[in-house]
Structure 1
Amino acid sequence: MNITENSFLDLNTSLSTATVAELVLAVQNGDQDAFGELFERYRGGIVALAMRRVRNADEAEELAQDVFIQAMQKIDQLRVPEAFGGWLRRIVHRMAINRMTRNRTAIACDPETLEATCFAVGTPDSFAEDREQAAVVRDSIDRLGDLDQQTLKAFYLHSKSLIEMSDEFDAPVGTIKRRLHVARKRLQKQMEDGVLQAV
Structure 2
Amino acid sequence: MSWTEITVLVEKAKTGDREAYGELVTRFQSSVYAMALGRVRDPLEAQELAQDVFVHAMRKLPQLRDPRCFAGWLRRITARMAINRLTRRGPLFGTDPEMLDAVEARTRTAEEQFAVGEAVEQLKGALSELKPLDRQTLEAFYIRGRSLKQIAKEFAVPTGTVKRRLHVARQRLKEVLEEIDPTLAEKFAGVEDEVEAVGV
- Tell me the TM-score normalized by structure 1: 0.49
Larger Rg: 1
Q: Which has the higher contact order (CA 8 A, sep 6+)?
A: 2
> TM-score of the superposition, structure 2-length normalised?
0.49
